Amino acid sequence: MIKSGRSLRLGRLFKADETPLFLVPLDHTVTDGPFTDARGYDALLGILADNGADAIVVHKGRLRLLPRSVYAKLSVVVHLSASTKYAADPTFKYQVAEVEDCLRRGADAVSVHVNLGSLTEDRQLRSMAEVADACDRVGLPLLAMLYPRGPGIMDHPQLETLLHAASLAVDLGADIVKLPIGGSVATMKRVVDSCPIPVLAAGGAQVSDHQFGAFVADVMTSGARGLRQRCARSDGCCPSPSTILITRTHRRSRLQATAKWGS
C-alpha cells in the first residue's frame, strides 16, 4: 500500500523504534523577541542537530535561513500562530501563515496555538479547525498546542480542562496535541489514556537538571509520546543546560527509553 504524504511526514517525526519525540521550540522569538544573536542561533541549531533533538518549531521566515545540514537531521514544524508580549491581550493567538505556503517552503508539519478559556477562544478554535482542513487537503500533519489559559477556566479543575483540551484537539482534526500536563504520573496518564492521538508534554519553566530529568521520566512513564522544551534560559543565555541534558540523554539512551516506554 502506498503511504500518504501525511503518514510519511508523521513517520519522519515519530521514529519507527517508538522512542519519544523531543521537540525544541524556537518560535517564541515572535512572542518574546530574540534570545541570542544570529551567530548564536545558528550555533544552537547545530547543537540540537548533533545531540539528539528530533524536531524544531520555527516561524515561516526562518525556513529559508536553515542550513541544509539541519534539514538532514531535524524535522521542521512551522508555527502558524502569533502574538507578542506587548499585545493588549497576549492570550489572543492569531494566524500569520498559510498551510499551503508552509508546505511549499519545506515544512514537515505545522502547529497552531489555542488558549482554552481565553476571551478570544472562539476565533482561535475556528482558526485551528480551518487549518486542520487545509492540512487534510495537502497531507501535512497538524500539531495542536492547547493551553487552558484565561478567565473562562478559573473555576474549573486543571484535570478537567486538560481532558477537554485533549478532546478538542482530536475533534477538530489535529494529528498531535501538546498539553501542559504535570503533577503525578497517574494524573498525566489519565490525560494521555483519554486521547487517541499522540500527546506531547509541554516542558514549562526552566528548572534544575535533576528536576527536569525527573519530569522527563514521569512523562515517559505516563505514556506521553514526547516532550516539547524551550531552549533559552531566563537570563537569555542559550542553550539552557536542561536542553543539552535532554538532547544528549535522548541520543545516548534510545534503547533504554524504548524499554521504559513499553513498561
Give the residue numbers annotated as catalytic, written as ranges: 27, 147, 178
Please give the span between the terminal C-alpha atoms of the chain, in angstroms, as a whole number. 31
Q: Is the torsion defined by CA of 2, 6, 8, 11 positive or negative?
A: negative
Task: Count Cα atoms within 13 angstroms, Cβ side, for 229.
Answer: 30
Do 51 and 41 touch, CB atoms closer than 8 A? no
Which secondary-structure segment (H or E) carries 98? none
Which secondary-structure segment (H or E) carries 69? helix 68-73
Do 97 and 62 touch, CB atoms closer than 8 A? no
